[in-house]
Amino acid sequence: MDHEVMNPEIEALDCVYEKPGTLTDTKFHYCPGCGHGVVHRVLMEVIEELGIQDQTVGVAPVGCSVFAYHYMNIDMQEAAHGRASAVATAIKRILPDRYVFSYQGDGDLAAIGTAETIHTANRGENILVVFVNNAIYGMTGGQMAPTTLLGMKTTTSPIGRTVETAGFPLKMADLVAMLPGTYYVTRHSVHTPNAVRQLKKAITKSFQYQKQKKGTCFIEVVSNCPSGWKMTPLQANKWMEENMFPMYPPGDLKVPK
């Protein structure tokens, strides 16, 4: 909206909520209702509030969030598919006083990058891994992911995922929580205001733990894919609560003792 034609009464109002400076002006390419935009924003809000924009390096994955660095106004690297945690490991080793995070989806982190994910967590690298799990390959058009639920239809599981052909949904947060290198493992969502607030707290805590060199922090965000799931945003969030949450229940999996 053009600033000059705005209602002067509106201009007189106080600004109580605005875009953080850690987000660029580039418009998100994400589909309507997708969780990525909210996760991006919350992550960048925390970085702004902690005042660590100049001390943070992020790593983007391959997948829907491949362009995360278009939106996040911080120094970033774009990793090869699945390798974000290896890239983040090396950045952190070279720059141990910087805050480093990787931002990855379920195809990236739980399929092609499983080895890097496990070993990064097992080494206890002092980084934050943000894992957005929507149980589908969104960017490539809705194929089955390791986290796809049994019975769930995708373009490569057209009659629904079966154990016989594709095994079981992979619970990555549960897996990394078992490893002694992880310090904080938690699962969240962004489909309600309260859930967003909880995620923001978890991200803030993770950066604090990183400063204290406590080990790997791993935050799974159970999210949706209205386009890939072929639902409206509201339907997708309802479906997520009813079907994703029983398999991937929100809550802490590992908290500091």
Nearest to 240 by CA among 183, 181, 185, 189: 189
Nearest to 101 by CA among 79, 70, 123: 79
Residue 125: partners with Cβ closer than 8 Å, 6 or more residues away: 85, 88, 89, 92, 93, 181, 215, 216
Residue closer to another protein, measured from CB, 139 or 152: 139
Q: Which residue has the tokens 């418009």?
A: 27
Q: Does 78 bind another protein (CB under 8 A)?
A: yes
Residue closer to another protein, measured from CB, 95 or 234: 95
Q: Which of 69-77, 134-142, 203-211, 217-225 is the region at the interface with another protein (rule: CB under 8 A)?
A: 69-77
Q: Does 135 bind another protein (CB under 8 A)?
A: no
CA 150 to centroid of chain Cα atoms: 22
Binding-residue pattern over the window 102 to 121 for another protein, x denoting contact by CB under 8 A = -------------xx-xx--
Nearest to 204 by CA among 98, 52, 78: 52
The token pair at 146 is 């390791």
Q: Does 55 bind another protein (CB under 8 A)?
A: yes
Q: Which of 1-9, 33-41, 51-59, 143-151 is the region at the interface with another protein (rule: CB under 8 A)?
A: 51-59
**Burial bucket for residue 21 (CB in 10 Å: 0-12, 13-18, 19+):** exposed
Residue closer to another protein, measured from CB, 125 or 220: 125
Residue 119 burial (CB count, 10 A)? 15
Residue closer to another protein, measured from CB, 81 or 153: 81
Residue closer to another protein, measured from CB, 94 or 255: 94
Binding-residue pattern over the window 170 to 209 for another protein, x denoting contact by CB under 8 A = ----------------------------------------
Which residues would be at the binding site for another protein (CB under 8 A)? 53-57, 59-60, 66-67, 69, 72-80, 83, 86-91, 93-95, 98, 115-116, 118-119
